[in-house]
Amino acid sequence: MRYVLDTNIAAAALNAHPTVLSRLATLPSDEVGLPLLALGELLFGAYNSTRVAENRMKLEALRRRVPILAVTEALVERYSIVRADLERLGRRKTDIDLIIACTALEHDATLVTNDAALKDGSIAGLLVEDWLESTSP
């Protein structure tokens, strides 16, 4: 696994953002993963929209292209340690954001996100790219 997609980048792909689609097109499917909780956020977005069927179809196409990464005991252990470290530093994150970030850590992958809270460098060892910024590789 080389990249783990955060919800906002996966949503950009679903909305046909050209830069995100271009980056995804250059990667084999086994180099990109979608955390289970990001899938949950995307499903919520689909069911909360006025175009449920259309959005579900887009999401199903993404699911066929990108493997879903499960929440495992090892991931939950890492989440607990990282959250405790951040709490001690006064750098709180939402639970879902933190589990998504820990999914990238657990897979030794780069988190692809546009979320400033995850790009702030406060999570030790987390590599981050933003495919929505023109300066990303």
- pLDDT tens column, 59-112: 999 999 999 999 999 999 999 999 999 999 999 999 999 999 999 999 999 999
Structural domain range at position 26? 3-129
The answer as to whether 136 is a domain residue is no
pTM: 0.93
What is the secondary structure of the chain as a DSSP string?
Answer: --EEE-HHHHHHHHTT-HHHHHHHHTS-GGGEEEEHHHHHHHHHHHHTSS-HHHHHHHHHHHHHHSPEEPP-HHHHHHHHHHHHHHHHHT----HHHHHHHHHHHHTT-EEE---TTTSSS-STT--EE-TTSTT--
Q: How many domains does the chain have?
A: 1
The answer as to whether 134 is a domain residue is no
The answer as to whether 59 is a domain residue is yes
The answer as to whether 111 is a domain residue is yes
